[in-house]
Structure 1
Amino acid sequence: MQLKTFNVYNNSNKAVHDAYDMLTAKIHINNNEKKLKTFALASCNPKEGKTSLAISLAISIAHSGWKVLLVDADMRKPTNEKRLNQESQLGLSEYLSGKIELNEGICETNITNLTYLSCGMNPNNPVELLCSVRFKQLLEKVQSNYDYVLFDTPALESVADGSIIASHVDAALLVVEAGTTSMKSLKRAKEQLASLGANLTGVVLNKMKRRDYKKYYGSYDYFTKARKTKRSLLGYLKNFLLPPSDQGIPKNF
């Protein structure tokens, strides 16, 4: 294990904590029934809050006493653009390329029970690496060492990486941005995941305004007053996981 310790920002906003606690409870209940351990966090488009959600969800699960590994599986984005920004950090790409062993890439964090595997240096062939035997071996190793493993993946409409990862893990969570992600994008993402046999276990509605989040739990009828495009999207989402509000979720870590 690398000696570097990542200082992960732990948000103190109670509303945010409550939202992630609810999502953690949903995942834990699902895990008891279906024995799900590895999850791909996916989104239709970039900048829908998926990475912030992945980090905060990992913290919430770790706070519940479960041993969690957070994997940055976006090997295409330079490290200086990451939430957990570290220069020249060995990680996923080096392991999949056979340059290091898994324990050489995994790092401790300042959050008890939470460890982190960075994306590593930018490879030329991320799809080839994700389709390799080494990726299957990675899944086998982490399932025996961790209670939960979260893969933060690239946007589905940008590259194929997220779909490939989702097809190999136990379940996928699709993160959508309230009032922004279109129904067309959502349906296309669902079909894309289904075509590869991915288990889409739920959708997380992200970036809700605080007032909307409070009213959400009072009644779904609140959203019937929204404009048509938003109403159709929310109507589709209510069959999935309850949404955490990102009011107060940190934009920088």
Structure 2
Amino acid sequence: LIDADLRRPAQHRLGARPKSPGLSELLTGAHPLEAVIQPAVTPGLDFIPSGGGANFTLSMIYTNRLRELITTLRGRYDKIIFDSPPIIGVSDASVLAGAMDGVVLLIQHRRNPAAMVLRAQQIVNGLKVPMLGVVLNQVPLRSGEDYGYYTHNYAYYSEGQRPKRRATTPGKDDKSAPPADKLVLGESDDRKS
């Protein structure tokens, strides 16, 4: 797990770990890889914090170093996860996404308007990076009748078929997230799980 949100890092606080040295020092050459890896945050999960560079940005200058880092880490780890800043308004996320094999968008429940979610999707699609999925977080477990377990509405649809009705019907003024049938994820036909 790599905290690549260099302006507002948070991952080091979740594990009560030091923020530095980290990714910013690694990419500038101030510290080697072994000095920034914090082993076993949880079994099987090493961590690289963001680092101390408050004015550091992932500009195009560091794109090659970032790609070299990813190549090195692929030789050591099965999966590499970068926690990035929001993709809208921060160039670091676009630079980072361009070096990734895929992107998962994290959307905060009732905080990210539909237009913002669709704009984020357009940015990812423009970078020609597969969108692997979307995570909706901070959904209250008990916030009314329109939430809950949806196993009774779960169904498969063949290509071209559309569901006759949605599993839930949010209010007409609800702009927090687009309906599932309006959010189109990146094509993944060429990628096998």
What band does the TM-score fall into relative to the shorter chain? 0.7 to 0.9
Q: 1:219 maps to which residue?
A: 153
1:223 maps to a residue whose letter is T
- Structure 1's 210 and 170: CA in aligned 2 closer, same or farther, altered over 3 A? same
Alignment of 1:38-53 (within 5 A): none
> Which segments of 5 or more consecutive residues in structure 1 lack a partner in the other structure?
1-69, 241-253
Matching of residue 186 in structure 1 with residue 117 in structure 2: yes
**Shift in Å, 1:214:** 3.1
1:215 maps to a residue whose letter is Y
Count the aligned residue pairs.
Answer: 170
Q: Give per-residue Cα distances to partners, 1:36-61, cap 9 Å, x unaligned.
A: xxxxxxxxxxxxxxxxxxxxxxxxxx
**Shift in Å, 1:239:** 6.2
Q: Give per-residue Cα distances to partners, 1:189-238, cap 9 Å, x unaligned.
A: 011112222221111122222246533333274412x1133596232477
TM-score by length of 1: 0.59
Q: Percent identity?
A: 27
TM-score by length of 2: 0.75
Matching of residue 118 in structure 1 with residue 49 in structure 2: yes
Give the SS at the match of 1:186: helix
Is the deviation greater in 174-183 or in 77-86? 77-86
Distance 2:120 2:61 in 1: 19
Of 147, 164, 178, the match for 1:233 = 178
Q: 1:131 maps to which residue?
A: 62
Q: 1:103 maps to which residue?
A: 34
Do the aligned residues in 1 keep the contact of 2:58 with 2:96 (CA within 8 Å)?
Answer: no
Do the aligned residues in 2 keep the contact of 1:73 with 1:119 (CA within 8 Å)?
Answer: yes
Matching of residue 208 in structure 1 with residue 139 in structure 2: yes
Q: Give per-residue Cα distances to partners, 1:43-83, cap 9 Å, x unaligned.
A: xxxxxxxxxxxxxxxxxxxxxxxxxxx00001122679843
Distance 2:183 2:123 in 1: 21
Matching of residue 195 in structure 1 with residue 140 in structure 2: no
Is the deviation greater in 97-106 or in 120-129? 120-129
Higher RCO (CA-CA < 8 Å; seq separation 6+): 1
Is the deviation greater in 177-186 or in 120-129? 120-129
Do the aligned residues in 2 keep the contact of 1:79 with 1:85 (CA within 8 Å)?
Answer: no
Distance 1:231 1:89 in 2: 36
Q: 1:175 maps to which residue?
A: 106
Distance 1:201 1:126 in 2: 25
Do the aligned residues in 1 keep the contact of 2:19 with 2:50 (CA within 8 Å)?
Answer: no
1:208 maps to a residue whose letter is V
Distance 1:116 1:204 in 2: 21
- Structure 1's 121 and 233: CA in aligned 2 closer, same or farther, altered over 3 A? same
Distance 1:238 1:158 in 2: 21
Query: Over alpha carbons, which structure has the higher Rg?
Result: 2
Do the aligned residues in 1 keep the contact of 2:104 with 2:133 (CA within 8 Å)?
Answer: yes
Q: Give per-residue Cα distances to partners, 1:160-213, cap 9 Å, x unaligned.
A: 111211111110000112222211001110111122222211111222222465
> Which segments of 5 or more consecutive residues in structure 2 lack a partner in the other structure?
155-165, 186-193
Matching of residue 146 in structure 1 with residue 80 in structure 2: no
Instruction: Give the number of the structure whose residues are more often helix, by fraction.
Output: 1
Do the aligned residues in 1 keep the contact of 2:66 with 2:99 (CA within 8 Å)?
Answer: no
**Shift in Å, 1:116:** 0.3
Distance 1:206 1:88 in 2: 24
Q: 2:159 maps to which residue?
A: none
